Amino acid sequence: MSKKLQKDLKETVKFLQKEFKKAPDVGIVLGSGLGNFASQIKIEKEVPYGDIPHFPVSTVKGHSGKLIFGRIGEKIVVAMGGRFHFYEGYTPQEVVYPIRVMKMLGIKTVLLSNAAGSVNPDFKVGDIMIIKDHISFFTPNPLIGKNDDDLGPRFPDMSEPYKRTLIQQAKAIAAKNKIDIKEGVYVAVTGPTFETRAEYKLIHVAGGDVVGMSTVQETIAANHMGLPVFAVSIVTDIGIRDDDNIITHEEVLQAAKEAEPKLALLFNQMIAAI
Ligand code: HPA
């Protein structure tokens, strides 16, 4: 990593620490259609991305584009209302920039969420799936380039990209609250096209359960820095079907919005237990 990135990160962190004095415990990334989760936060400070030095700016419908600082119960959280996607034209390094910033602000855990299409016949629209592992379907690795040993190692281990203890905790919370929760493998694609029928089939055969356009680059950057990750997908559409299903962004946002209360319960209780 370049000296410039180090300098930029330091400036961003310094700016945010002036805006909000307390160190957050947990970072949260809200996926497409899941921005309502922000209403769970007792908001103490909101900083639009455009005001933050060196931050990319979000452009996608359904993403509000601000960093939200506040409390959930006793815990101090920082949430990204909207994330940066590779398909928007950001570099993989830009996509993961906020994850690095949140780590440097002091978070000890990051919770990621996304909307995804299912290729698992046992899943239905509205299901929550805990991500236990991932496959990058040609999404560029954000660590390509000179390594910064201050951030993490050259060749990070990825045998447990999603922290097992957090997965156990999530399953226990789901069982207690009678939420039917799935678990599976997230396949990351670049987008912005949804997949062809042949691609959905390939993703299924390759061992994927759901497919989406985010999360994996963020997870890689978090693992690089030794930051534990918990991530969930909301199933917003079914990729493998024999009828003429056409997938739209509106349908994805609507399905995510409807499933959001389940996600809120899960994240709230996880944050309390962290
Ligand atoms: N494919 C890729 N990304 C997605 C999908 C999908 O079917 N649904 C929501 N995000």
DSSP state of 38: G
- pLDDT, one tens digit per residue, over 30-72 is 987 787 888 889 999 999 998 999 998 756 555 558 999 999 9
The pLDDT of residue 58 is 59
Give the per-residue pLDDT at 2: 67
pLDDT of 60 reads 57
Average pLDDT, the chain: 92
CA–CA dist 185, 208 (Å, integer) = 5
Ligand 1 pocket test: pick from 123, 201, 203, 213 the residue with the most ligand atoms within 8 Å of its Cβ.
Answer: 213
Measured CA to CA, the distance from residue 100 to residue 110 in angstroms comes to: 11
Buried b (16+ CB within 10 A) or exposed e, 34-59: bbebbebbeeeebbebeebebbbebe
In 159-256, where do the E strands start and end?
A: 181-188, 210-212, 229-238
What is the Å distance from ligand 1's center to 271 Cα? Answer: 27
Going by alpha carbons, the residue nearest to atom 2 of ligand 1 is 212
Cα(214) to ligand 1 centroid in Å equals: 10
Q: Which of 216, 238, 252 has most ligand 1 atoms within 8 Å of its beta carbon, as the pocket-test mutant?
A: 252
Intervals of the chain under pLDDT 70: 1-2, 58-64, 241-242
Does any ligand 1 atom lie closer than 6 A to the CB of residue 211? yes
Q: Do the strands 42-48 and 66-72 form a parallel or antiparallel pair, or are they unpaired?
A: antiparallel
Homologous superfamily of 3-273: Nucleoside phosphorylase domain (3.40.50.1580)
Per-residue model confidence (pLDDT) at position 225: 97
Give residue 204 CA to ligand 1 midpoint distance, Å.
13
pLDDT at residue 64, rounded to an integer: 57
Domain-wise residue ranges, the chain: 3-273
